[in-house]
Amino acid sequence: MIKRHSYIIIISAVFLILSALGYFIHYLIFRDLHYIWYYLVGNLAFLPLEVLLVGVFIERVLSYREKQSKLLKLNMAIGAFFSQVGNHLLSDLLDSFKNKKEICLHLNITTAWTKKDFQKAIQFADHLPITVNSENIDLEKLKAFLAQKREFLITLLENPGLLEHDRFTDLLWATTHLDEELEARPSFENLPPGDREHIMNDIRRMYDHLASEWLDYVVHLKTNYPYLFSLILRTHPFQQRRSPFVTQ
């Protein structure tokens, strides 16, 4: 830290000396001290305005563009997650929920949805009521699927850009934790009731994060990529009949 401060002091001193030398040469050539003071004071007077323009407005514009660029890359990673993992979990686990109809009623996005409809759905998903029918969940199948996607999930967690997105990071941690819990059990036969309920809680937590993040991602697609949003409308699991085929 001391070396860094010394380096800044040295650079500042060099630039000040160069500036003074330039003014001195100007005086030797033109012998006009009044001109030098006139422009020196004028430049000093403009300096706060220049700092305001560069340090506030231009910096904010550049920061906004950088943030948008990061957001675009982040949503690409989120899109990859749903393509590889999220969409399957949304669909496969939904059938094991006793209140599936209630969830579908609130999350069945359509072309007619407005901004208010998405806001209501997001509020519902943020505190998603899930009643799990544990007998309908094939834990062996879920374990095999997550094990297959483990390397992909770890790769996402290693992405430093994703750490700036708290909600998606929470989703990744909830998913990897569920994977670890399932992997730790060699068999799911004759599980103690308390242990089975523990796994069900992990599934609820993961699905809660999953539904919330899915809605955020869908809103992003609706705004920026309508052709991808069109595919989501035709294939998402919260509708009665889904098909990738375009019928209209």
pLDDT for 65 beyond 70 = no
Per-residue pLDDT, 214: 96
Per-residue pLDDT, 127: 87
| Residue 44: band (very low, low, confident or very high) from pLDDT cuts 50, 70, 90 | confident
Question: Can you tell me the distance from the alpha carbon of 177 to that of 133, in angstroms, rounded to the nearest whole number?
Answer: 21
**Residues 35, 90 within the same domain:** no
Please check whether residue 126 lies inside any domain of the structure.
Answer: yes
Q: Residue 44's domain spans which residues?
A: 2-61
Which DSSP helix (H) or strand (E) runs through 31?
none
Number of domains in the chain: 2
Read off the pLDDT of residues 134-184 as tens digits, 9 standing for 90 and up: 888 999 999 999 999 999 999 988 887 776 678 899 999 999 999 999 999
Given its phi and psi angles, is residue 187 left (phi above 0), alpha (psi -120 to 50 degrees) or beta? Answer: beta
**Residues 105, 220 within the same domain:** yes
**Residues 178, 217 within the same domain:** yes
Per-residue pLDDT, 85: 96
Which one-letter amino acid corresponds to residue 11? I
The mean per-residue pLDDT over the stretch 95-106 comes to: 93
Residues with Cβ within 8 Å of 104's Cβ and at least 6 positions away in sequence, in order, are: 94, 238, 239, 240
For 132, phi then psi, to 5°, come to: -90, 135
**Residues 45, 161 within the same domain:** no
| Mean pLDDT score across all residues of the chain | 86
**Residues 163, 193 within the same domain:** yes
